[in-house]
Chain A
């Protein structure tokens, strides 16, 4: 296989059509078409709107990525695509497109895991991942602590959220405060003018007998809503910046404390943070302080690579080619609940996930 494989990655697990092109660990193009504005008035991602947008954006976004990278599709060494987890109907658009490109161009196809891609994207910023790597993935869809020995074969979940993802809590708190959607960036901005110690919001699952690496943000979200409502009922003004800052402090406190503990307990000296919430300025700051204190090397990709994008899929695809992993077959399924341990979906031996995209849409118009 090529020393520096040239791989195109397609990501359609949520509301962004991402197409990235990577040569080895070098980023050549990262094209994104977002339907976020179409969802804003609904206060969340509407699956059917996302799927329609992916179909429209697919070919133009691929072409834009090829133009940016200055390559021809025929130069590629492989096509990678997010096979799951994610929105079933949205994933299916990307997987179908990837198969068509791979088949038409006679290139190997790699159906890869979205979460492993979030980790692997850091290779584009800080070079090859050390082995082992501890990863904290936080976004609107996931909040997990993962330990990886080899990002192409071995990702082990240590803990995850038992209810809401961290990003979901940001969205809901933003809504309670009337700040709009998506909540992450706007809460971050609002919190800069607030006092993070103003209100002592609860730290979920932080008791001595609680699971060490699992998260819970549902109670925190409810506590914030309750606190704000009580203020409004009393006819008092809600100190929005203080609420945002105190909420954000509670989230980042739990995330970073558990991530550092996971590193120490497992003798891992590298922590990678990825996912959309990794763009949060307070999370980056607090993680840096706590890692410095614990002697842990922190790796956080730049914010643009933390959110969902095609470059992360291309990065993992390139690693698959580089390490000579088996490609996927053309009957590859989009699997909305692909387990994180399935880093990629090779041609043989994968489970029966047929009809997943349709089951998830039961009752819908799909």
Chain B
């Protein structure tokens, strides 16, 4: 197994190469506004560092969110195009699952916890996990005050709203190494990952414009 993994669903632009056992190389840059500029150079760099020719890859793992849409799409369309051009399968991973995998690796194992990332508009993307690391609730998008998270929580969304997430701790953003590790473990266990389709969780912002405004003032007389 030789996986290229990346994620653009959080402010981090992160890429990694994983051989099924370990992370061979990883890069991580936090810049919430430059996913488009940073991702491809990051992918190129991580393969160089790992000394892996892209033609030797066996698959792509990509974080499918939830996350802010503009950045999220950079990762998904890149994964789709790379998969198409290189003839590789693309495995989608819920970004919150990757953060959960990382949190457990960093010491949260053995207890239930909640992952929350920043969804903007005073909301968080969140999911809850049991002591074995299995997702039990979510992913969802809600106002922090409306949630009842586990006593322990991780992610930038939890850190941002300490009142709602009293047990907030790191990691803040996703790392592609963890995402690759999660994907490699799932694939090795013969489990299906997600399709390469974004977890938007919200309908598109599309206000129907009001009836055209009268230029003479007063109530417009609308055509039939």
User: A-side interface residues toward B, CB under 8 Å?
Assistant: 41-44, 46, 48-49, 51-52, 54-55, 58-59, 62-63, 73, 88-89, 92-93, 95-97, 99-101, 103-105, 172, 175-178, 222, 225-226, 229-230, 232-233, 238, 330-334, 354-355, 357-359, 361, 364-366
Contacts and interface: CB of A to CB of B under 8 A. Distances in A.
B204 A63 contact: no
Contacts of B215: 222, 225-226, 229
B189 interface: no
B221 A89 contact: no
Contacts of A103: 40, 43-44, 54, 82
Interface stretch (B31-39, B103-111, B177-185): B31-39
B216 A51 contact: no
A265 to B, nearest CB: 35
Contacts of B44: 103, 330
Given A42-B209, A89-B70, A89-B73, A48 B204 contact: yes
Contacts of A334: 36
A366 B74 contact: no
Contacts of B33: 354-355, 357-359
Interface of B: 32-34, 36-41, 43-44, 54, 68-71, 73-74, 76-78, 80-86, 120-121, 198, 200, 202, 204-209, 212, 214-216, 220-224
B215 to A, nearest CB: 5
Contacts of B216: 226, 229-230, 233
Contacts of A95: 36
A58 B81 contact: yes
User: How would you classify the secondary structure of chain A's contact residues: helix, strand, loop or mixed?
Assistant: helix
Contact of A357 (B36, B82, B208, B220): B36
Nearest to B88: A104
Contacts of B206: 42, 46, 48-49
Given A95-B36, A97-B80, A233 B41 contact: no
Contact of B68 (A43, A354, A366): A366
A99 B77 CA distance: 10
A59 B200 CA distance: 20
B52 to A, nearest CB: 14
Contacts of B77: 54-55, 58, 93, 96-97, 100
A59 B36 contact: no
Nearest to A98: B81
Contacts of A55: 73, 76-77, 80, 198
